[in-house]
């Protein structure tokens, strides 16, 4: 599973070109979007909820998640209009990092609106990750695949893969893990909801990446 990915040929895109290319392919008639999210530390600068979380204002952070409701609802309506099935699998390490704890409240809103998201315990895929973590990728149908690149803690574009065989292999790996994933709400209620507010501030969060698309 994912054996060919490390040796795959790619083209580096800066952040602007990555987003332009992503949306061009996304609107080109694909039928599936798969997102495998593996990293445990990201930054979402400019997102008021994340900014509050990063400052240690947990209750404010949770209340501000709701500001994204209409934006996410509009994105899902557009996805449905285009006939794209969108699925995300969130790998979670234990103990749960502060970022992932916060992110799950954002993902809970997306699930409430109809997004297809599952979670999987990283310990259950240890055999798959013996040599390296599973790749963090966005796969657009059979046409393009992206691995986000980080520089100095910020999203700085992506590596774009176009080899159909590599895309098919990676998509098959995603599908296999997605089938093993757990219902988001069940995972959230058992593993995330009971957690106390995370101890986090800007000095703790500094130096990590920024999630993208």
Evaluate whether residue 108 is within a structural domain: yes
Average pLDDT over the chain, rounded to whole?
Answer: 92
* 78: three-class secondary structure by DSSP: helix
Q: State the total domains in the chain.
A: 1
Structure-token match 């209409």, residue found:
70
Evaluate whether residue 144 is within a structural domain: no
Taking residues 10-38, report their average pLDDT: 97
Evaluate whether residue 90 is within a structural domain: no
Evaluate whether residue 141 is within a structural domain: no
pLDDT at 204: 40
pLDDT at 148: 85
Strand order in the sheet with 154-161: 11-13, 154-161, 144-151, 137-140, 32-37, 85-92, 116-121, 182-183
Evaluate whether residue 75 is within a structural domain: yes
Evaluate whether residue 142 is within a structural domain: no
Domain that holds residue 51: 5-85+96-134+149-210
pLDDT at 206: 36
Pairwise pLDDT comparison (93 vs 155), residue with the higher score: 93
Evaluate whether residue 139 is within a structural domain: no
pLDDT digit string (tens) for 158-187?
A: 999 999 999 999 999 999 999 999 999 999
Confidence of residue 71 (pLDDT cuts 50, 70, 90): very high
Confidence of residue 45 (pLDDT cuts 50, 70, 90): confident
Evaluate whether residue 91 is within a structural domain: no
Question: 85: which 2 tokens?
Answer: 């099935």
Instruction: Lowest mean pLDDT of 66-70, 128-132, 186-190, 207-211, name the range.
Output: 207-211
Contact 111, 100 (CB under 8 A): no
């Amino acid at each position: 599973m994912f054996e060919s990915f490390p040796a795959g040929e790619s083209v580096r895109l800066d952040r602007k070109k990555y987003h332009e290319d992503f949306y061009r392919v996304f609107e080109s008639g694909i039928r599936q979007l798969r997102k495998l999210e593996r990293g445990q530390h990201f930054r979402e600068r400019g997102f008021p909820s994340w900014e509050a979380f990063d400052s240690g204002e947990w209750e404010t952070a949770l209340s501000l998640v709701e500001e994204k409701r209409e934006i996410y609802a509009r994105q899902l309506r557009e996805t449905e209009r285009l006939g794209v099935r969108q699925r995300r699998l969130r790998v979670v390490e234990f103990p749960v990092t502060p970022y992932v704890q916060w992110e799950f409240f954002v993902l809970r809103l997306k699930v409430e609106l109809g997004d297809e998201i599952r979670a999987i315990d990283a310990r259950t895929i240890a055999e798959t990750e013996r040599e390296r973590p599973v790749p963090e990728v966005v796969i657009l149908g059979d046409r393009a695949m992206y691995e986000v690149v980080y520089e100095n803690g910020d999203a700085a574009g992506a590596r774009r893969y176009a080899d159909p065989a590599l895309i098919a292999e990676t998509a098959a790996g995603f599908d296999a893990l997605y089938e093993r994933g757990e219902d988001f709400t069940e995972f959230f209620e058992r593993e995330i909801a009971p957690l106390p507010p995370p101890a986090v501030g800007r000095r703790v969060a500094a130096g990590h990446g920024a999630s993208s698309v």
